[in-house]
């Protein structure tokens, strides 16, 4: 059974940082691209970042709204993906979901999400 579990959310002041973690199991992690998608309270879905697999040179991609402030990475030995979020702004307040895709870029399994609140 595919399992995806995010941790690391919380309340942080504007300008602060957090590291979100996503632990996975139940599938061959090395075969998949991993993504973070966020959802601000009462709003829709926004794709945030992607890290591809070893066969694709661990290439990373970011939404313009987070580029330069967020860093996605993965540890294949731990079947985990991370999102370092820095220089946080109020508009980064959201549930952050970890999700996977293959080369077709459809998100077929999602974690339960982790809440990040940016407030003074």
Partner 1 sequence: DIQMTQSPASLSASLEEIVTITCQASQNIGNWLAWYQQKPGKSPQLLIYGTTSLADGVPSRFSGSRSGTQYSLKISRLQVEDIGIYYCQQASSTPYTFGAGTKLELK
Binder among 15, 78, 105, 119 for partner 1 (CB under 8 A) = 105
Q: Using the rule CB under 8 A, is 50 a contact of partner 1?
A: yes
Please report, to the nearest 10 degrees, the dihedral formed by the alpha carbons of residues 108, 24, 20, 81 taken in order: -80
Q: Which two tokens stand for residue 67?
A: 């580029």
111 scored as a contact of partner 1 (CB under 8 A): yes
What is the Cα–Cα distance from 4 to 104, expressed in whole angstroms? 19
Comparing CB distances to partner 1, the nearer of 82 and 97 is 97
Identified binder of partner 1 from the candidate list 27, 69, 86, 110, rule CB under 8 A: 110
């Amino acid at each position: 059974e595919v399992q995806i579990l995010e941790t690391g959310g919380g309340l942080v002041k504007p300008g602060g940082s957090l590291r979100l973690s996503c632990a996975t199991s139940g599938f061959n992690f090395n075969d998949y691209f991993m993504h973070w998608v966020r959802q601000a309270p009462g709003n829709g879905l926004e794709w945030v970042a992607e890290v591809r697999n070893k066969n694709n040179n661990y290439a990373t991609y970011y939404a313009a709204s987070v580029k330069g402030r967020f860093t996605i990475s993965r540890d294949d030995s731990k079947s985990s993906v991370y999102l370092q979020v820095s220089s946080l702004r109020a508009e980064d307040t959201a549930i952050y979901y970890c999700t996977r895709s293959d080369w077709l870029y459809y998100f077929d399994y999602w974690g339960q999400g982790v809440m990040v609140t940016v407030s003074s």
